[in-house]
Amino acid sequence: MVEKTSEDILARMALVPRTMEARGLDAIPAIRSRFFQAKDLELVNILDLILQDEVSHVYIGNYWFNYLCVERKIDPIKTYKILAKAYNAPTLRGPLNMEARLKAGFTQHELDELVKT
Residue 1 inside a domain? The answer is no
Q: Which amino acid is at 101?
A: R
pLDDT in tens, 56-107: 999 999 999 999 999 999 999 999 999 999 999 998 888 899 999 999 999 9
- Structural domain tally of the chain? 1
Question: Domain span at residue 69?
Answer: 9-116
55 and 100 Cβ atoms separated by less than 8 Å: yes
CA distance 81 to 50: 27
The pLDDT value given to residue 35: 97
Whole-prediction pTM:
0.89
The pLDDT value given to residue 117: 64
The pLDDT value given to residue 46: 97
Residue 29 inside a domain? The answer is yes
Angle at 56 (CA atoms; ends 71, 63), nearest 5 degrees: 10
Residue 41, number of CB atoms within 10 A of its CB = 10
The pLDDT value given to residue 116: 80
Please indicate whether residue 15 or residue 113 has the higher confidence score (pLDDT).
Answer: 15
